[in-house]
Amino acid sequence: MKKTTKISSEKILTISTVAIILLLWFIVTSTGAFSETIIPSPKNVLKSLSDVLSTGYKGNTLLAHLGTSLKRLIIAYSLVIVTAVPLGLLSGYNSKVRAVIEPIVEFYRPLPPLAYYTILVLWMGIDDSSKLALLYLAGFAPVYINCVSGVLRIKSDYINGAYTLGANKRQIFFYVIFPAALTDIFTGLRTALGVEYTTLVAAEMVAATKGIGWLVLDASKYLRSDTVFMGVIIMGLTGILLDKIIRIIEDCVVHWKGKN
């Protein structure tokens, strides 16, 4: 009963916070203290959403813009999962592999993604290939680092105990190391998803002709604040939804998390 009450209270607080923000937005815009160009009213933002849904924006529907962005994100994110996770686990398990990969990751990880995006554009053009490469590099580092950290944090007693029971290296990797590192793996995946999404929007603002990021930038050129606000809100809600999906998968896979 206590757990149910706690969850209910948290939901009430979340809904109340959102409601207060929307109410303040409505009050501020209704007083006329700010120009519609600076802060558009909720009514105009909803009208912009309705217009874009019905007629599209610059020849493409809103779903087409959002779908293009999500397609780029999902492809790059999938490539990160199938490469960064195994390489990170292997690097944590084998110091020689880590000595080869870690210097490369540590070199480019602190760099702002847009700093080397110009190089990728020169090499690959402004098509999706350069954007996918940028998103891949942005997402690889956090997943790789969390996987390595997850393996290194495993107590040696667990591994030695498995050896004592007759397990070989392959069995230890799949039945001891991988399950123990799952929490860190999902932490890296959630971090990478957020990093990739913000990087995607920035990349579309620099070199693109389609996508939710491009839509926001193009609307800002014509001072269409209502469309800009609409695009930003959609990006935020999409990011929340994507993170929620990862958390649901994590709860299903790492079902013992938080349990003693």
User: Same domain for 121 and 188?
Assistant: yes
pLDDT attached to residue 146: 94
pLDDT tens-digit readout, 117-126: 888 888 888 7
Residue 53: inside a domain: yes
Residues 4 and 103 in one domain: no
Domain of 162 in residue numbering reads as: 40-253
Residue 52's CB: how many other CB atoms inside 10 A? 23
| 259 in any annotated domain | no
Does residue 54 sit in the same domain as residue 124? yes
Per-residue pLDDT of the chain (260 residues; tens, 9 = 90+): 444 445 578 788 888 888 999 899 889 888 877 788 888 989 999 999 998 888 888 888 889 899 989 999 999 999 999 999 999 999 988 889 999 999 999 999 888 887 888 888 888 887 888 889 999 999 999 999 999 998 888 877 777 787 777 777 778 888 888 888 888 999 999 999 999 988 888 788 776 778 888 898 888 888 889 999 999 999 889 989 999 999 999 888 887 665 54
Domain count, the chain: 2
Are 110 and 13 in the same domain? no
Backbone angles phi, psi at 237, to 5 degrees: -65, -40
Q: Assess if residue 118 is contained within a domain.
A: yes
Q: Does residue 93 sit within a domain?
A: yes
The alpha carbon torsion through 55, 57, 61, 65 (nearest 10 deg) reads: -170
> What's the confidence (pLDDT) of residue 12?
86
Distance, in Å, from the CA atom of 226 to the CA atom of 237, rounded to the nearest integer, reads 17
Q: Residue 258 falls within a domain, yes or no?
A: no
Cβ neighbors of 228 (< 8 A, separation 6 or more) are: 216, 219, 220
Phi, psi dihedrals of residue 50, rounded to the nearest 5°: -60, -40
Contacts 24+ apart (CB under 8 A), 241-245: 242/73, 242/193, 242/197, 243/190, 243/193, 243/194
Let me know whether 3 and 117 are in one domain.
no
Judge whether 113 and 137 are in contact, CB under 8 Å: yes
CATH number of the domain encompassing residue 57: 1.10.3720.10
Alpha helices in the chain (DSSP H): 2-30, 42-55, 62-93, 95-108, 113-124, 128-152, 156-164, 169-172, 178-180, 182-206, 212-221, 225-253
Q: Is residue 107 part of a domain?
A: yes
Q: Three-class SS of residue 125?
A: coil
User: 91 with 128, same domain?
Assistant: yes
Residues 24 and 63 in one domain: no
Residues 89 and 133 in one domain: yes
Q: Is the residue at 235 inside a domain?
A: yes
- Clarify whether residues 116 and 237 are in a common domain: yes
Q: Are residue 168 and residue 55 in the same domain, yes or no?
A: yes
Is 16 in the same domain as 70? no
Residue 7 lies inside a defined structural domain of this protein: yes
| Same domain as 223, residue 101 | yes
